[in-house]
Every structure is written in structure tokens, then in C-alpha cells.
Amino acid sequence: MTVTAYLALGSNMGDQAEHLRQAVRKLHGRTGIRVIRTSPVYETDPVGFVDQDAFLNMVIAVETELSPDELLDAALHVEQELGRVRTIRWGPRTIDIDVLLYGDEKLEKEDLTIPHPAMTERAFVLIPLRDVWVGGALPVWGRPVDDFLRLLPQEDKGVQIWGTIDWETGFDHSVS
């Protein structure tokens, strides 16, 4: 069975665009995962632990034959490969990969919650998700992405387009 899943990527250390590009390439290279759409890259103010550098964030859509657990494992594996060291919660990271949505499934386990519980509160996720999301209402909530964006106190404040990364050829296109 093939399922469409959505992954959020974020980086705020080192060569952030390169980390995003490598992450997309590595995800696409894993058995049972194909990247089908990528959002533009956004430069975003840090949320949570604010005393850190700005992030680059993006969302990708993948087709996968993997189970949700296997998809999470693949994401964690790619994080490891890119040298992510877990230190401060919500703190700086070379790369963070969250599983936002997996088809229309709802899952609540100790190590995996789908949809990602914080996704509807984060403009740095919702704005790039809107770029790659096809269809109207989000599964589980049954409401479109814009509904959640409108509920955010500052909507898209602190989320600016950075450019696009061409993960297949390796050329980045920064607009700034």
C-alpha cells in the first residue's frame, strides 16, 4: 500500500540550506520513500527557545510504502546521518525532521503521535505545508490549513520566503 505523508524539516545550525538539501536527498534515497513535492524554503524566527539563530524550514510530501514507525525510523536515521546531536529541547539543531501527516491516520503512541501535535500551532510548519498540501480539509481535523493559520495570534509574522533548494541538481536559489 502506498501512502502520502508530509514531513517538516528545520535547521538552524551551520549551512542550513545544505542540511535541508541533504536531508531531502537522503530521504528520497531510502527504500520505500519517494519525495513528490517540496515547498519553498522559509526563514523563520525561532519559536520556543528563542535565544538561538533563525531557522530555515520547509515541508515535503512523500509517497511511501513504509509504516508510520518505519517512516519515523527513516527520519531519525537521516537526522543521525546529518550529525544531529540532541541537546536543548527546542534548541539549535543541524536538522529536525517531524512526521506531520501519514495519509489520514491518527496515531498516539509513546514515541510517535500523528498528526504531529504542535503542527497546527506553528506558522513555520503551516505556511510551507500549505504550499505542498493538495486537497481541502486536513485529515483528522477536517479543516483547511488556512483555518489554523487564521487562529494564530501573529499568523505569518517571522516567516519569510528564503528561496528554493534544488535537491536533485544541488543548486540553491536564495532570493535574499
Ligand X SMILES: Nc1ncnc2c1ncn2[C@@H]1O[C@H](COP(=O)(O)OP(=O)(O)OP(=O)(O)O)[C@@H](O)[C@H]1O
Ligand Y SMILES: Nc1nc2c(c(=O)[nH]1)N=C(CO)CN2
Judged by CB under 6 A, the residue of 3, 47, 112, 161 near ligand Y is 47
Q: Are 162 and 148 in contact (CB under 8 A)?
A: no
Q: Which does 171 bind (CB under 5 to 8 A by kind): ligand X, ligand Y, none?
A: none
Catalytic-role residue among 21, 30, 98, 122: 98
Of the pair 79, 96, the CB lying nearest ligand Y is at 96
Of the pair 85, 137, the CB lying nearest ligand Y is at 85
* Closest residue to ligand X: CB criterion: 111
- Residue 152 has φ and ψ, to the nearest 5°, of -70, 135
Residue 89 engages ligand X in binding (rule: CB under 6 A):
yes
Residue 84 is a catalytic residue: yes
Residue 25 is a catalytic residue: no
Q: Which does 46 bind (CB under 5 to 8 A by kind): ligand X, ligand Y, none?
A: ligand Y
**For ligand Y, which stretch binds (CB under 6 A), given 42-50, 62-70, 100-108, 140-148?**
42-50
Residue 141 engages ligand X in binding (rule: CB under 6 A):
no
Q: Which does 124 bind (CB under 5 to 8 A by kind): ligand X, ligand Y, none?
A: ligand Y
Burial class (CB in 10 A: 0-12, 13-18, 19+), 62: buried
List, by residue number, the catalytic residues. 84, 93, 96, 98
